[in-house]
Amino acid sequence: MSKRFLLDANLSSRSRHWQQPEFESAPDHWDDHTVWQYAAAHNLIIVTKDVDFEERALRYAPPQVVRFCTGNMRRQVFRAFLSENWARILAVLDQPQVRLVRVYADRLEVT
């Protein structure tokens, strides 16, 4: 079964990387609770920069969370970063015990 993702409103869904069928964008007006409930109900992995989802992932499961801790990157730099690192992120998410993947510019941290 292929993975499907829900982009939190704090990530730009305009990036070409996110313009694939496996990605959905949460509406801007959804609060964190609604995003969490929707992702859990639809078996989606939340992709975010928001620390609040990290805290939820550590307390509750599912869904899994990918949190980017990369700071602000220019769009072109972020696209290149995703191209270089997305396969590693997906491989980590294949481990069933993983609840949270923190993505830094120089490393991944897994919980």
Q: Tell me, letter by letter, the H, E, C secondary structure of 13-37.
A: CCCHHHCCCCEEECCCCCCHHHHHH
Digit-coded pLDDT (tens) for 21-47: 899 999 999 999 999 999 999 999 999
Q: How much is the average pLDDT of 11-16?
A: 68
Digit-coded pLDDT (tens) for 51-81: 999 989 989 878 999 999 998 888 889 889 9
CB 72 within 8 Å of CB 90: no
Q: Is the backbone peptide bond immediately before 96 cis, with ω within 30 degrees of 0?
A: no
pLDDT at 105: 93
CB 35 within 8 Å of CB 63: no
32: amino acid identity, one letter: D
Tell me: pLDDT of 84 over 90. Answer: yes
pLDDT at 72: 86
pLDDT band at 96 (very low <50, low <70, confident <90, very high): confident
Q: Is the backbone peptide bond immediately before 27 cis, with ω within 30 degrees of 0?
A: no
Q: Which residues pair with 23 in a beta bridge?
A: 5
Q: CA-CA distance, 78 to 12, in Å (whole number)?
A: 11
CB 86 within 8 Å of CB 17: yes
